[in-house]
Amino acid sequence: MELQRIGFKVICLEGESIPLVDFIPVFHRWIQQRLTETLLIDVADYSHVNEGPGILLAGHEGNFAVDETGGRRGLAYYQKVNQEGGISARLAAICRSVLAACKRLESEPEFAGKLAFNVRDLEVYSNDRLLGPNTAEANEALEAHVRELLARMYGNDSSSLRRESDTRERLQFSIKNDSADVDVTKALINLAG
């Protein structure tokens, strides 16, 4: 599968009530201190939009966002530039990027004890309707690679994947894995291993 533009979103376990604008200074600090491996450029405030990208941290390789699409707040990261390696390696790299950002955000002093991400509640999507359209074939092709990644990350094969049924929306899986004993840190370790 040639798909490059892939996105992950990790849903919030706690932190739904934190005002979106509170994430703005934190993201600016990430830029000041160059806290990610990728090039970060700017912060965009979309808190005025209903169920939108919330607060966007725009980068060169990809964008992060405290995203509320679909009415569920989470931290999203989607890749914008091409990466080396096969689809499995690319999926894993993007997943690691979002998990690392989740971990960092949870540990920010402003959100201490108020923000947590549920790594067992994820969304993964193709952000490319040419190379990864929301068709049965593409769904099937991507699902196999996603399941492989989830097995590594959760340490089991019991993830449930729900496909996006509206074919105008992006190819997307909503993922749940209630039996996995994993948090953000452990997920990162599992994916590194």
d(CA 39, CA 31) in angstroms, rounded, equals 8
- Is 82 or 185 the residue whose CB approaches other proteins more closely? 82
By CB under 8 A, tell whether 37 contacts other proteins: no
Window of 8-16, 17-25, 85-93, 145-153 that interacts with other proteins by CB under 8 A: 17-25
CB proximity list for 32: less than 8 A, separation 6 or greater: none
Among 89, 156, 169, 189, binds other proteins (CB under 8 A): 169
Lay out the site mask for other proteins across 129-158 (x = CB under 8 A, - = otherwise): xxx---------------------------
Quote the distance between the C-alpha of residue 43 and its chain's center. Answer: 17
CB proximity list for 45: less than 8 A, separation 6 or greater: 20, 21, 24, 55, 56
62-81 binders of other proteins (CB under 8 A): 63, 65, 69-70, 80-81
Window of 21-29, 84-92, 97-105, 106-114 that interacts with other proteins by CB under 8 A: 21-29
Which CA distances in Å does 173 have to 48, 109, 127?
Answer: 27, 32, 12
By CB under 8 A, tell whether 86 contacts other proteins: no
SS3 content of the chain, % helix, strand, coil (to 5): 35, 30, 35
By CB under 8 A, tell whether 111 contacts other proteins: no
d(CA 175, CA 178) in angstroms, rounded, equals 10
Chain contacts with other proteins (rule: CB under 8 A): 2, 5, 21, 24-25, 28, 31-32, 39, 41-53, 56, 58, 60, 63, 65, 69-70, 80-81, 127-131, 168-170
